[in-house]
Structure 1
Amino acid sequence: MAASEGTHALDPSEYIAHHLQNLSTHPQTSIFDIHVWNLDTLFWSIVCGLLTIIILGLAARRATSGVPGRFQCAIEMLVEMVEDQSKSMIHGSRRFIAPLALTVFVWVALMNSLDFIPVDLPGRVIGWLGLEHALPHHRIVPTADLNGTIGIALGVLLLMLYYNIKIKGAGGFVHELLSAPFGSHPVLWLPNLALNIIEFAAKTVSLGMRLFGNMYAGELLFLLIALLGSMWTFGANLSVLGFIGHVIAGTVWAVFHILIVFLQAFIFMMLTLVYLGQAHDTH
């Protein structure tokens, strides 16, 4: 099990708390504190974003009309899947939205896939490099941080507002906010506006919370499974069950988590398309 300050062995609670702590600019003192920046979340989000650009850029450059390779086939399958989904939801130009959905899927899938890295490996690497004092905490899964997922969801919210104004015009969008869903009578303007604001807020929060909840739970389960392995003392006693449980549970959960990683990326992409498709519709 990891040690704190080089000598003190962490108990299970300290072990989990240590691995769930982000590398922040300063400690967070309230539920909402805009001055706190989780540097590890920002770093790995940017790394995965750049990797997404590189992967899709290589696919575009290496595309050929001849017999495609495995890489091109995989990207073409993704493009076809995203195009089919966007075609059924977006009633208008998809020139920007379809590539956006593809980028969102690959980006979120890459960030989720960082959860496959063994939970203690980042700490081991930091220790080998002698950076344990500079980097006392480090989480490498951006989507297991609520700040990261809500940040992406806020980007989707801005796109929803942009397309509502672009498709309906500023006046049309304001009219829809005041007249839907109960009607355009002036008495109903305030209830309509309140409900529409709540709807936009609920979409944003639920989009970020759904991804965060699934990835955070997966990360926590990996930590609990890692603790099973620490129970094994190499003795001829029941502690060997900890090692057996560690191997079996770790293998089963890792295989199942592959589905969760890509399913959550797919759901996030689909909800993005749904919300942008709703922005193209008028009441």
Structure 2
Amino acid sequence: MSAAAATEATLTSQEYIKHHLTNLTVGEGFWSWNLDSLGWAVFLGLVFLTIFRSVAKKATPGVPGKLQCAVEMVVEFVDGSDKDTFHGKNDLIAPLALTIFVWILLMNAMDWVPVDLIPWLISLATGMDMADIYMKPVPTADLSTTLALAGGVFILIIYYSIKVKGFGGFMKELYTQPFGHWSLYPVNFLLEVVTLLARPLSLALRLFGNLYAGELIFLLIATLGLYQLPLHFIWAVFHLLVIPLQAFIFMMLTIVYLSLAHEDH
């Protein structure tokens, strides 16, 4: 679907890209809500839960079907990654890792949807002009989504750090490392707090940066009109690596950070 057809020749290339990078938002400032990111994130989360629950209820010990086989492969892959990386005892980590991996994978996969397809369908259904439709279908290309995911991980890091080590042990870990001398405790505390805060921030920015850049390049390719198809195909094939890799990295770093939170030195 060409950019010219999508915009009905009313938008320049710059306006077209800016339009597609604008969320459907209500509210103002800090309390604004990106309804498209929230809606797609919730929808894809429900898709994940529905599929995995259905497979779990219908699982057979005999020869599995294709869907059951695919789900079992994903579960075994995540479970193996958890056992190799997490050295504590916590029954929450493996299900959490599975949820993070599959949910982020599905949200990232929305990057494969042609940029004009969903607005075009909305236009057909409602009669609205496509220039008036704001819809970003890739939740992980929205910094609000990735910060929320990383924030949830950060809360778990703090919770388990205090639960396993106690509040005193957690604070002692912050001000006694890496330098053991008492005179350097303030320096230690500053360094450790910065390191602690950098973990969720790096998680959020890494995922957002990769998906936002990928979406931006798809939009640049779409501005080529009828000549976009070969480049669109090549970039979509490249995303066969990018989309699962970013979900895997987020999952593995989550496991690593929670494993560190469970280590009581």
Could you say whether these structures have the same fold, taking a TM-score greater than 0.5 normalized by the shorter chain as the test?
yes
The superposition leaves residues 151-203 of structure 1 with CA deviations (integer Å, 9 ceiling, x where unpaired) of 10111101111111121122211111121221262x33322221121112111
SS at match of 1:149: helix
Of 28, 31, 42, 1:35 maps to 31
Q: Would you say the 8 A contact 2:143–2:208 is kept in 1?
A: yes
Q: In angstroms, what is the RMSD of aligned CA positions?
A: 1.9
Give the corresponding residue for 2:251. 269
State the distance in 1 between where 2:261 and 2:181 align. 19
State the distance in 2 between where 1:98 and 1:59 align. 18
Give the corresponding residue for 1:249. 231
SS at match of 1:123: helix
Higher helix share: 2
Give the corresponding residue for 2:18. 17
Give the corresponding residue for 1:238. none
TM-score, with structure 2 as normaliser: 0.92
Q: Would you say the 8 A contact 1:2–1:10 is kept in 2?
A: no
**2:211 maps to amino acid:** M
Of 132, 146, 150, 1:149 maps to 146
Give the corresponding residue for 1:282. 264
Q: Would you say the 8 A contact 1:24–1:36 is kept in 2?
A: yes
Q: Is residue 2:178 matched to residue 1:181? A: yes
Percentage of matched positions with identical amino acids: 49
State the distance in 2 between where 1:170 and 1:62 align. 45
Q: Would you say the 8 A contact 1:2–1:15 is kept in 2?
A: no
Q: Is residue 2:261 matched to residue 1:260? A: no
TM-score, with structure 1 as normaliser: 0.86
Alignment of 1:195-210 (within 5 A): 195-210=191-206
Q: Is residue 2:54 matched to residue 1:53? A: no
SS at match of 1:119: coil
Q: Would you say the 8 A contact 1:86–1:94 is kept in 2?
A: no
Q: Would you say the 8 A contact 2:6–2:120 is kept in 1?
A: no
Q: Would you say the 8 A contact 2:6–2:116 is kept in 1?
A: no
State the distance in 1 between where 2:118 and 2:152 align. 29
Structure 2 unaligned spans of 5+: none
Number of residue equivalences: 261
Runs of 4+ in 1 over 3 A off after TM superposition: 131-136
**2:159 maps to amino acid:** Y
Structure 1 unaligned spans of 5+: 28-32, 233-242
State the distance in 1 between where 2:16 and 2:5 align. 7
SS at match of 1:44: helix
Flag the structure with more relative contact order, 1 or 2, with Cα contacts below 8 A and sequence separation at least 6. 2
**1:152 maps to amino acid:** L
Alignment of 1:219-258 (within 5 A): 219-229=215-225, 232=226, 243=227, 246-258=228-240
The superposition leaves residues 191-239 of structure 1 with CA deviations (integer Å, 9 ceiling, x where unpaired) of 222112111211111101111111011101111111112xx5xxxxxxx
